[in-house]
Structures are given as structure tokens and as C-alpha cells.
């Protein structure tokens, strides 16, 4: 056996869902840049689950189905109101809430293709409602019911903030959801596939993926980027902060990527989006700081930003609480997780790698009275 730390470079499966080749990210063969420019999140979800972009009629039906399934059982919000808001992280809440959703789905244990697709719709539709609802509950506000007349992105911002977003805000958030929808066999997606390869249910697979995404080396990185920007405070302190961090070998979150060697294509799009939203807001402080940090890290370390870096600035300027950045990531990535789960079911083999043992060998058990 050959051991590879972190499974780097190991091909674990085949997939038709997304690919990364020559620093180009594609969903079902479509370049992510074209999808972000010319489609909506609902179209991308349909694409990931069905293999083709929808027709106008298919999209209308799909959007209606998502809207019809967006409401969540009131009991889940009742439970959330009992959580200790002084220290609980929203990702922990989301992990528990999605698991609880299974209790209210009579088809949770069904494993046929149509039942799995129906469950994917329910989870995708409800996860945005759960995140927005918890955000309001911890502020002493009541959750806002989904608005069936709004698109997925606009509806989330509406449920989160209690007023209708501007067209630009909704468009930028919609593009952000597209950019984070899938990313080949990343840590959380692999976790989901490992889980359902045992023939566990889709709710278990999504819950497992949320647990993996929670970590700061995966989805939690954008929240850490925001903590860094807050700590720096203003553009005048960027040089000193970055120089000190590098001298002390501290990791600068939001830079570098194990797969991309010449830059994350999503980061380039997000940078443009962050600039547009900061101009709309009339406050470019965070954006200007981010650009300066990018320039310094490129100069001193030769590293380029990944998707987490500019998404932090974008989400902040959209009025999203910083500890909701990773749950927002989960809202988007649920579409990819569900696609991979269904693909795993369609051609399943239990995922059971080996470990190379390097501990003590051939030890004798000494009776307890002689130890």
C-alpha cells in the first residue's frame, strides 16, 4: 500500500458533475464564468441534479417546487429559541436542524431515485429558511415566512433582513450561490459520499457534509478572513499586520488552493462582485483593504486568493452576519452535495480505504497486577 497524506492527488471516484482542469471549473461541462454570467442559481441546481440546463417551462416548474417546499416545521424554530445564543455557532445549529428535518419527512428512509430527488428539493428549499430563521431568532425577532414570489437568492435576503433586497444585491448573491454550488471532490462532498456509500439516507449525508464544511480549513475560512479584516481595521495597518503575520509564520486565510495553481477562477469573479456591491454601499474600506492584502501576499508569498477571500467582503457588504458566512456556503453547496449523493447511489460501492499502521508491534499483554 502507498500512503498519501490528505489523499492529495488520489483519484477516488469518477463523476460527471463538476471538474477542475487547467484551473477551469466546470459544472456538467459548462464554464463557471458563463454560468455566473448567464444563468441563475435555480438553473444551476437543476443542471447539477439533471445533467442539463432547464427549458423555460422546466425552470418555472422547478422554481415553483422549491418555493412550495421552503417552509419549515414550526417546531424547529421553537427548538432554536432554546439554544444558548451566547456561544452556539450557527453551523452547529444548522447541522442539528437539517438532521431534525428528517424527522418530519415521511419519505426520509426511501431510497428510490424519485424519492431521493424529492428529498433533495425539500432540503435545498428549507436550508435557506433555517439559516435566515435562526439569524432572526437569536436577535429576538420572529422568523419571516418564505415569499413564493421571489427567486431563491432574493427570498433568502428577504427572510434574513425583513425587507426586499435591491436588484443588484439579489443578483450578486445569486451569482455567489452559483460560484459555491459545487467543487468536485472537496472535503465536505467526499464526506457526504462516504456517508451515503453505506446506504445511509440523504439527510445523514447532508448533515455529515455540514459537519465537514464547518471547519476553518474548508467552509469556515471566509469567516476567518472577516476576522482578519476586522482585526486590521483600516488600510493603513495592512502592511504591518501582514508583515508581522508572515514573520511569525501565521496562516493568512483565503489564499492558496490545493488544486488551483494559477488562481481560483471563482475568486476573480467574486472580486468584481465585491467591488460592485461596495460601490453600491458607498463604502470601499473592506474592499480596498482586501485588494492591498492580495497584492502583498502575491508579492511576498506568490499566493493568489481563493473563493473564501473576496466572498467575505461581499457577504459583509450585503449585510450578512459574519458567523453566517459558512451557513450561506452550505445553502449553496447543498445543491452539489445532493447531486453527488444521488450519483453515489446510482453506482454505489462502499468507500473503505486502508490505513498504514505505524504504531507498536507484537506487544504482550501484561497482567494488571504486574503493571
pLDDT digits (tens, 9 = 90+) for 199-244: 999 999 999 999 999 988 888 888 889 999 999 999 999 999 999 9
**In a domain? residue 26:** no
**In a domain? residue 245:** yes
2 pLDDT higher than 80: no
What pLDDT is recorded for position 296?
94
Q: How far apart, in whole angstroms, are the C-alpha atoms of residue 129 and residue 211? A: 19
What pLDDT is recorded for position 1?
67
Q: Could you tell me how many helices (H) and strands (E) the chain has, helices first?
A: 16, 3
Q: What is the pLDDT of residues 50-107, one digit of tens each?
A: 999 999 999 999 999 999 999 999 999 999 999 999 899 999 999 999 999 999 999 9
**In a domain? residue 11:** no
- The domain total for the chain is 2
Same domain, 119 and 159: yes
**In a domain? residue 193:** yes
251 pLDDT higher than 90: no
**In a domain? residue 251:** yes
> Given pLDDT bands bounded at 50, 70 and 90, which one contains residue 142?
very high
Catalytic site includes residue 308:
yes
CATH number at residue 244: 1.10.230.10
Query: What is the pLDDT averaged over residues 300-304?
Result: 91
Q: What is the pLDDT of residues 309-360, one digit of tens each?
A: 999 999 999 999 999 999 999 999 999 999 999 999 999 999 999 888 899 9
What is residue 249's DSSP assignment? T
**In a domain? residue 300:** yes
Q: How far apart, in whole angstroms, are the C-alpha atoms of residue 67 and residue 221? A: 30
**In a domain? residue 12:** no
CATH number at residue 157: 1.10.580.10
Same domain, 65 and 203: yes
Q: Which residue is catalytic, options 180, 257, 316, 340?
A: 257
In terms of DSSP H, where are the helices of 219-367?
221-232, 238-247, 265-281, 285-301, 307-317, 325-346
Same domain, 85 and 157: yes
Same domain, 210 and 227: no
Q: Residue 255 phi/psi, 5° resolution? A: -130, 145
**In a domain? residue 365:** no
Last residue of a domain, one of 280, 297, 317: 317
Same domain, 139 and 88: yes
Same domain, 292 and 151: no
Q: What is the pLDDT of residues 194-203, one digit of tens each?
A: 999 999 999 9
Same domain, 197 and 81: yes
Q: Which residue is catalytic, options 182, 264, 308, 317?
A: 308
Task: Write the DSSP assignment of 180-209 as a string of letters.
Answer: TS--SS-HHHHHHHHHHTTT--HHHHHHHH
* 266 three-class SS: helix
Write out the H or E segment, with its range, that includes residue 154: helix 152-161
What pLDDT is recorded for position 360?
94
Same domain, 241 and 119: no
Same domain, 113 and 191: yes
Q: How far apart, in whole angstroms, are the C-alpha atoms of residue 273 and residue 173? A: 9
Residue-number span of the structural domain to which 305 is assigned: 221-317
Same domain, 208 and 241: no
Catalytic site includes residue 257:
yes
Same domain, 261 and 308: yes
Per the CB < 8 A criterion, the answer to whether 52 and 285 are in contact is no
pLDDT > 90: percent of the chain: 86
Task: Write the DSSP assignment of 50-85 as a string of letters.
Answer: HSSPPPHHHHHHHHHHHHHT----HHHHHHHTTS-T
Same domain, 127 and 241: no
Amino acid at each position: 500500500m502507498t500512503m498519501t497524506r490528505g489523499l492529495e492527488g488520489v483519484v477516488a471516484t469518477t463523476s460527471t458533475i463538476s471538474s477542475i482542469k487547467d484551473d477551469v471549473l466546470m459544472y456538467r461541462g459548462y464554464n463557471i464564468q458563463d454560468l455566473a454570467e448567464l444563468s441563475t442559481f435555480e438553473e444551476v441546481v437543476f443542471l447539477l441534479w439533471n445533467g442539463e440546463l432547464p427549458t423555460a417551462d422546466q425552470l418555472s416548474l422547478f422554481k415553483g417546487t422549491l418555493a412550495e417546499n421552503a417552509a419549515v416545521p414550526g417546531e424547529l424554530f421553537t427548538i432554536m429559541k432554546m439554544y444558548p445564543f451566547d456561544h452556539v455557532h450557527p453551523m452547529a445549529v444548522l447541522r442539528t436542524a437539517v438532521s431534525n428535518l428528517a424527522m418530519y419527512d415521511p419519505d426520509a428512509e426511501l431510497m428510490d431515485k424519485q424519492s431521493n430527488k424529492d428529498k433533495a428539493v425539500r432540503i435545498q428549499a428549507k436550508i435557506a429558511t433555517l439559516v435566515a430563521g435562526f439569524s432572526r431568532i437569536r436577535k429576538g425577532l420572529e422568523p419571516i415566512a418564505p415569499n413564493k414570489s421571489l427567486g431563491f437568492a432574493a427570498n433568502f435576503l428577504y427572510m434574513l433582513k425583513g425587507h426586499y433586497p435591491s436588484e443588484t444585491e439579489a443578483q450578486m448573491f445569486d451569482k455567489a450561490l452559483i460560484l459555491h454550488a459545487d467543487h468536485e471532490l472537496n472535503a465536505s462532498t467526499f464526506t457526504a459520499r462516504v456517508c451515503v456509500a453505506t446506504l445511509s439516507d440523504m439527510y445523514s449525508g447532508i448533515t455529515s457534509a455540514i459537519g465537514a464544511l464547518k471547519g476553518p480549513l474548508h467552509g469556515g475560512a471566509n469567516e476567518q478572513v472577516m476576522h482578519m479584516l476586522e482585526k486590521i481595521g483600516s488600510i493603513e495597518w495592512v502592511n504591518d499586520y501582514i508583515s508581522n503575520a508572515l514573520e511569525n509564520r501565521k496562516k493568512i486565510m483565503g489564499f492558496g488552493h490545493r488544486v488551483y495553481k494559477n488562481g481560483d477562477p471563482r475568486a476573480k469573479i467574486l472580486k468584481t462582485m465585491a467591488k460592485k456591491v461596495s460601490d453600491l454601499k458607498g463604502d470601499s474600506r473592506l474592499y480596498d483593504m482586501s485588494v492591498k492584502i492580495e497584492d502583498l501576499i502575491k508579492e511576498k508569498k506568490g499566493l493568489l486568493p481563493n473563493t473564501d477571500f473576496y466572498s467575505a467582503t461581499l457577504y459583509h457588504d450585503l449585510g450578512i452576519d459574519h458567523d453566517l458566512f459558512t451557513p450561506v456556503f452550505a445553502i449553496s453547496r447543498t445543491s452539489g452535495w445532493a447531486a453527488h449523493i444521488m450519483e453515489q447511489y446510482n453506482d454505489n460501492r462502499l468507500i473503505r480505504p486502508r490505513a498504514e499502521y505505524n504504531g507498536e508491534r507484537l506487544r504482550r499483554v501484561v497482567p494488571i497486577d504486574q503493571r
